[in-house]
Chain A
């Protein structure tokens, strides 16, 4: 499992499941998209890098299969070299893609944090004195800091996690050979389990 996938899984498991019960006001999602609007181009580039990254990750095992089946077993040294170099190049391309993706995701994320913070700060400043006589400073600062950070997660971590995982799964399922092989493995596993019982 890649480090990113492990981290995504871990993050998901440590989140509080009670939030699923939370009722959202109508129009919240639509409103969020208005904040994302200035970053449309960045979001598209970011999603493009995520898709390429996910596809590259799936491509490596496929190349390794070719390397063994058509290179190692028939003793085709030239093919082995070519495919090994290709796998290496893919690894480098993968690293470059993930750097590019990280750059755009932080541009979107940090930009969003900046926009929201500036907006909340300006708005709080315009509140009447009565507001400050009632409000707890700590609670207010937490809105400007932690909630704004939590909000931008939607655009980076969640978005990239969702897209890259879906792409990985789709690439996996799209490959007929693997589905067949997987099916074989699965039925054999079932058979062995039932046999042992």
Chain B
């Protein structure tokens, strides 16, 4: 239900699903819950009736026999009364104690399930004696990096993924023996067909995953020796699908910089080419963006994400297909925004549209997890390899359009 009631899920149901079928599916499940509810109510009532009846019968029994004993002088009337009063109180504790093991076990099992989560070691964590990264114009170096995605049992708990099927096949190496250097303040572009491993590279740098073999260094430090906080604080990422929280524009911007003033936000938004839009909204920076930013268009979300990045002002910038699905007007605006985002920063840009990376200081062409070509745009076009092939194909479609 949670899946179908978020914006994307609701939209998918509206556009593709058959609401009637969905409703029927929900109703059949809700019916089962209702049936169980009735059964439970009946059993509970039966239990209560049984319990109170037994107590009442026991009292009658005690009065009956005790009455006779009192007449014969075996017990006093006061004792009889006290016994019947206590009998009613005794019955509850006895039944409750006989079931105490179930109660205790239920609690212990709950504790164990909580401990199970607490015992799951994060795959990526700070090393002991990790140092702070203080970069200004950092040099990034990939040294013979290979990477395969971790197996399910390494990252999660089987009990937390009941619907996920166990993986029988290990995903192979996504990156193999990758080495390159991004000089301070330069732009490195990653291009290549889908599944070549471009996005994986962008995930390794902020340590969303750790490399399997080899090392990534920033200013000569292995990134695993740096504190995660300082490493991630130095890197800004804008992805193809910019995510915004269901809060106001200002709160989303402040996610990058807690204490950002309104002036700072305005400046960042101006550089990101989004200020005019925000200004035109009746609530300005206090406008709610809707779930996942659904009230904004793709280009607007993208520019807001860039403004967020500018506020963070990181030393390293990663752009993962930040302009892939934008129309030409939006793309021009986003490109202009990106110019200011990349200025003077060491950046890694992944782009499908090769026109956007022509001015890169170096272009790495990836295929099946390996760098097959590297160089500047003109050199690569002149070489007539995979890059030239991709470029010519895009150029042709561009010309046809």
Interface size on A, residues (CB 8 A): 85
The docked-state distance in angstroms from the alpha carbon of A168 to that of B93 is 7
In contact, A130 and B150 (Cβ under 8 angstroms) = yes
B115 close to chain A: CB less than 8 A: yes
CB within 8 Å: A-B pair count? 250
Residues from chain A with a CB closer than 8 A to the CB of B109 are 19, 22, 24, 150
Residues from chain A with a CB closer than 8 A to the CB of B76 are 65, 68-69, 73
B94 close to chain A: CB less than 8 A: yes
In contact, A128 and B209 (Cβ under 8 angstroms) = yes
The docked-state distance in angstroms from the alpha carbon of A73 to that of B75 is 14
Known: A28-B111, A133-B155, A135-B157. 11 other contacts (CB 8 A): A5-B92, A70-B78, A116-B114, A123-B120, A128-B124, A130-B149, A130-B154, A140-B160, A147-B110, A158-B104, A166-B97
29 residue pairs A–B, Cβ–Cβ below 8 Å? A1-B52, A4-B92, A9-B51, A9-B92, A12-B99, A15-B106, A19-B102, A28-B108, A28-B111, A32-B108, A57-B89, A61-B86, A61-B89, A64-B78, A65-B82, A66-B78, A68-B78, A69-B76, A69-B77, A128-B124, A134-B155, A135-B161, A165-B92, A166-B97, A178-B82, A188-B65, A188-B68, A189-B65, A192-B65
Query: Which interface residue of B91, B93, B115 has the most chain A CB atoms within 10 A?
Result: B93
In contact, A153 and B89 (Cβ under 8 angstroms) = no
In contact, B161 and A136 (Cβ under 8 angstroms) = yes
The docked-state distance in angstroms from the alpha carbon of A13 to that of B188 is 67
The docked-state distance in angstroms from the alpha carbon of A17 to that of B101 is 9
Among A153-168, those with CB < 8 Å from B are 153-154, 157-158, 161-162, 164-166, 168
Residues from chain B with a CB closer than 8 A to the CB of A185 are 62, 65-66, 69, 83
Among B127-186, those with CB < 8 Å from A are 149-150, 152, 154-157, 159-164
Residues from chain A with a CB closer than 8 A to the CB of B33 are none
Decide: A28 near B81, CB < 8 A? Known: A8-B92, A19-B102. Answer: no
B26 close to chain A: CB less than 8 A: no
Among B189-209, those with CB < 8 Å from A are 203, 208-209
Give the shortest distance, in Å, between A171 (CB) and chain B (any CB). 9
> When the two chains form the complex, which single residue of A16, A131, A153 contacts B110, counting CB atoms closer than 8 Å?
A153
The docked-state distance in angstroms from the alpha carbon of A60 to that of B155 is 59
> When the two chains form the complex, which single residue of B99, B111, B123 contacts A128, counting CB atoms closer than 8 Å?
B123
Give the shortest distance, in Å, between B44 (CB) and chain A (any CB). 7
The docked-state distance in angstroms from the alpha carbon of A172 to that of B56 is 19
The docked-state distance in angstroms from the alpha carbon of A189 to that of B109 is 43
The docked-state distance in angstroms from the alpha carbon of A47 to that of B82 is 26
B235 close to chain A: CB less than 8 A: no
B105 close to chain A: CB less than 8 A: yes
Among A125-159, those with CB < 8 Å from B are 126-131, 133-140, 143, 146-154, 157-158
> When the two chains form the complex, which single residue of A73, A129, A162 contacts B77, counting CB atoms closer than 8 Å?
A73
Binding site for B on A (CB under 8 A): 1-2, 4-6, 8-17, 19-20, 22, 24-25, 28-29, 31-32, 57-58, 60-62, 64-70, 73, 116, 119-120, 123-124, 126-131, 133-140, 143, 146-154, 157-158, 161-162, 164-166, 168-169, 172, 177-178, 181-182, 184-185, 188-189, 192
Residues from chain A with a CB closer than 8 A to the CB of B115 are 25, 28, 31
Residues from chain B with a CB closer than 8 A to the CB of A11 are 103
Give the shortest distance, in Å, between A179 (CB) and chain B (any CB). 11
The docked-state distance in angstroms from the alpha carbon of A128 to that of B228 is 11
Pairs A-B, 4 closest by C-beta atoms = A5-B92, A12-B99, A150-B110, A154-B107
In contact, B81 and A184 (Cβ under 8 angstroms) = no
In contact, A134 and B118 (Cβ under 8 angstroms) = no
Main secondary structure of the interface of A (DSSP, over half): helix
The docked-state distance in angstroms from the alpha carbon of A155 to that of B183 is 59
Give the shortest distance, in Å, between B169 (CB) and chain A (any CB). 15
The docked-state distance in angstroms from the alpha carbon of A61 to that of B87 is 10
Closest A residue by C-beta to B107: A154
In contact, A151 and B110 (Cβ under 8 angstroms) = yes
The docked-state distance in angstroms from the alpha carbon of A13 to that of B113 is 23
In contact, A20 and B102 (Cβ under 8 angstroms) = yes
In contact, B99 and A15 (Cβ under 8 angstroms) = yes
Give the shortest distance, in Å, between B87 (CB) and chain A (any CB). 9
In contact, B107 and A151 (Cβ under 8 angstroms) = yes
B100 close to chain A: CB less than 8 A: yes
Decide: A128 near B155, CB < 8 A? Known: A31-B115, A58-B89, A134-B161. Answer: yes
In contact, B108 and A154 (Cβ under 8 angstroms) = yes
Decide: A10 near B88, CB < 8 A? Known: A65-B78, A158-B104. Answer: no
Decide: A22 near B105, CB < 8 A? Known: A69-B78, A147-B113. Answer: yes
B125 close to chain A: CB less than 8 A: yes
Closest B residue by C-beta to A129: B208
The docked-state distance in angstroms from the alpha carbon of A162 to that of B99 is 10
Residues from chain A with a CB closer than 8 A to the CB of B48 are 6, 10
B282 close to chain A: CB less than 8 A: no
Closest A residue by C-beta to B167: A134
The docked-state distance in angstroms from the alpha carbon of A37 to that of B1 is 40
Residues from chain A with a CB closer than 8 A to the CB of B81 are 61, 64-65, 68
